[in-house]
Amino acid sequence: MTNFRPRKLPPNITEDAFQRFATKVINICGSENVKIISATLELIDGDYMQSCKAHASAIISPRNVPEVQDTVRLCNKLCVPLWPFSAGRNIGYGGTAPRVSVSVRMDMGLHMNKVLNVSVEGSYTLVEPGVTYFELHDYLEEHKLRVPDVGGGSIIGNAVERGVGYSKHQDHGIMHCGLEVILPDGELLLAALQLWLWPYNDGIFTQSSLGIVVKMGIWLMPNPGGFQAYMITFPRDDDLPKITDTIRPLRLQMVLQNVLTLRHITLDAAVANNKASYTDRKEPWNGDELYAIAQKLDLGYWNSFGAVYGPEPTRKVLLEFIKGVPLAIPGSEFWLPEDRTEPFSVLHTRAKVLQGIPTTNELSHLFFSPISKITGKDATAQYDLSKKRCFEAGFDFNGNFVVGMRAMHHSVWNVFNREGPEARKKARWLILTLVDDCAARGWAEYRTHIPLMDQIANTQNFNDTAQMKLNEKIKNAVDPNGILAPGKNGIWPNKYKKKGWVL
């Protein structure tokens, strides 16, 4: 009999129980779809397209819905923790890594990767977990439809985590029409492609550990009849409050049709080139250096990217209003893609992404993502605080504001040398400190990397942690053995002694 021994056993699972699990799951999914992470297996760090999948005791790749159901039932019987992922490319928030590090990982995307249905007249699609933005884009091109976002992430993985995009479809979780979910007891809840299900309980399956999504309906963007991307450059660091207060009414009235981004110069400088190409200094940039870089790149200290959609008369009217923004802020400039002649311009990348042509040109690492009101006062307070803490840690501030309808996602792109133990320590200090700083001011994060889940959950403590009490009640009722993604978003099932696990 083959001996299936992982590098490390999942918590409270004996070698014997794991052996039984491995034997049975091979019967369900086939030996070629079960990979045991043994002590002799070489662990590969990976990259964006082939992300590291090693923090597990085993990786299971089911081929269809019944195999997912049978595997879930088996995990339930043996109390084996299971962590599903789709493409595993949300690297800024943890990639495929489970919160309980030796969980069994379920690779939902390897085989279940088909576009099942496209409604051209209704402008929506039904997809399996492995379908990425790239793949759906190729499929849709011939139907003059687009699906908005960057890169190789999966439609389902991004939507269930409430990922945001830059186009007209901001919150990808909201843009779904139906989910087909497998509950922790293996039951199949069928709701995919029902355009409305009454009563609406889809929300409990986003940012959730209550189900495995096997199909999802998602809105597509019909051809709007015309499209124009643009960039507005703002010259000074202290333009931020004026910019925010000027664009808010335009966003509320939907004159700004897409999710405008407002990017700090360090981001665009980094996209153009690495830091060593600008300076030998290792310390964070100072203001004068950044003004010089902005001038060299012919960009602003803040740079904003957007697009208008529709036939020519619609675009013309909208652009007239939008061109009022640079007029309100001295020294600002309005640019079209053809105005930019440098070899690599963010505007050219955005001109693709905003009309639903995915790219992988702008990706980064450890994200810190608090939410800000769309006011100059709040944006400046969050920017000042984050910048101060980044400098204390010895890092540059890399960040942008993603302007939604009533709030902004403020992404701080915490870029550090992950090979350096000192840099890792500092990056950790920085993000832990920022979470506490933001909590003290009443700012919440929209999504987070795995080691911060408990800390952030603790900051959401209104009325004696009423929300956590509800979440735990639901978790224990729906998943009494606590097998599905234990600890995700700080929600620990009763089976796990929370005190021993919380970070």
Query: Site for ligand ADP (CB under 6 A): which residue of 68, 147, 160, 452?
Result: 160
Note whether 11 and 102 are within 8 A (CB).
Answer: yes
Residue 400 in 3-state DSSP? strand
Read off φ and ψ for residue 70, nearest 5 degrees.
-65, -40
As given in the structure block, the two tokens for residue 179 are 């989910």
For residue 218, state whether it binds ligand ADP (rule: CB under 6 A).
Answer: no
Task: Give min distance, CB of 157 to ligand ADP, in A.
Answer: 2
**DSSP, residue by residue, 98-113:** -SSTTPEEEESTTT--
List CB contacts of 343: < 8 A, sequence separation 6 or more.
none
Q: Which stretch binds ligand ADP (CB under 6 A): 82-90, 239-247, 259-267, 469-477?
A: 82-90
Gap between the Cα atoms of 476 and 461, Å rounded:
20
Q: Which residues pair with 445 in a beta bridge?
A: 370
Kindly tell me the burial class for residue 283, based on how many C-beta atoms sit within 10 Å of its own C-beta (0-12, 13-18, 19 or more). exposed
Kindly tell me the burial class for residue 32, based on how many C-beta atoms sit within 10 Å of its own C-beta (0-12, 13-18, 19 or more). exposed
Gap between the Cα atoms of 35 and 445, Å rounded:
35
As given in the structure block, the two tokens for residue 313 are 């008369």
Question: x-or-dash pattern for ligand ADP, window 412-441, by CB under 6 A?
Answer: ------------------------------
For residue 151, state whether it binds ligand ADP (rule: CB under 6 A).
Answer: no
Task: Give min distance, CB of 165 to ligand ADP, in A.
Answer: 11
Annotated catalytic residue within 5, 7, 93, 428: 93
Task: Give min distance, CB of 87 to ligand ADP, in A.
Answer: 4
- In the bound state, the residue with its beta carbon closest to ligand ADP is 157
For residue 158, state whether it binds ligand ADP (rule: CB under 6 A).
Answer: yes
Kindly tell me the burial class for residue 55, based on how many C-beta atoms sit within 10 Å of its own C-beta (0-12, 13-18, 19 or more). buried
Q: How many CB atoms sit inside 10 A of residue 466's CB?
A: 11
Is 418 an annotated catalytic residue? no
Cβ closest to ligand ADP, residue 386 vs residue 448:
448
Is 446 an annotated catalytic residue? yes
**Backbone dihedral region for residue 207 (phi beyond 0: left; psi -120 to 50: alpha; all else: beta):** left
Task: Give min distance, CB of 52 to ligand ADP, in A.
Answer: 11
For residue 89, state whether it binds ligand ADP (rule: CB under 6 A).
Answer: yes
For residue 150, state whether it binds ligand ADP (rule: CB under 6 A).
Answer: no
For residue 325, state whether it binds ligand ADP (rule: CB under 6 A).
Answer: no
Give, as ranges, the residues between 90 and 109 that touch ligand ADP (CB under 6 A): 90, 95-96, 108
As given in the structure block, the two tokens for residue 396 are 């540059």
Is 496 an annotated catalytic residue? no
Question: x-or-dash pattern for ligand ADP, window 470-499, by CB under 6 A?
Answer: ---------------x--x-----------
Task: Give min distance, CB of 91 to ligand ADP, in A.
Answer: 8
Residue that has been written with the tokens 């080139």 in this structure:
273
> Residue type at 81?
P
Cβ closest to ligand ADP, residue 154 vs residue 345:
154
> Residue type at 102?
V
**DSSP, residue by residue, 211-252:** -EEEEEEEE-EEP-S-EEEEEEEE--GGGHHHHHHHHHHHHH
H/E stretch holding 156: helix 155-160
Query: Site for ligand ADP (CB under 6 A): which residue of 11, 62, 88, 358?
Result: 88
Query: Site for ligand ADP (CB under 6 A): which residue of 161, 180, 239, 445?
Result: 161
Task: Give min distance, CB of 363 to ligand ADP, in A.
Answer: 11
Task: Give min distance, CB of 159 to ligand ADP, in A.
Answer: 9
Task: Give min distance, CB of 269 to ligand ADP, in A.
Answer: 26
Question: x-or-dash pattern for ligand ADP, window 104-143, by CB under 6 A?
Answer: ----x--------------------x--------------
Query: Site for ligand ADP (CB under 6 A): which residue of 29, 104, 156, 293?
Result: 156
Which active-site residues does the annotation give? 93, 446-447
Positions in the binding site for ligand ADP (CB under 6 A): 84-90, 95-96, 108, 129, 153-154, 156-158, 160-161, 212-213, 485, 488
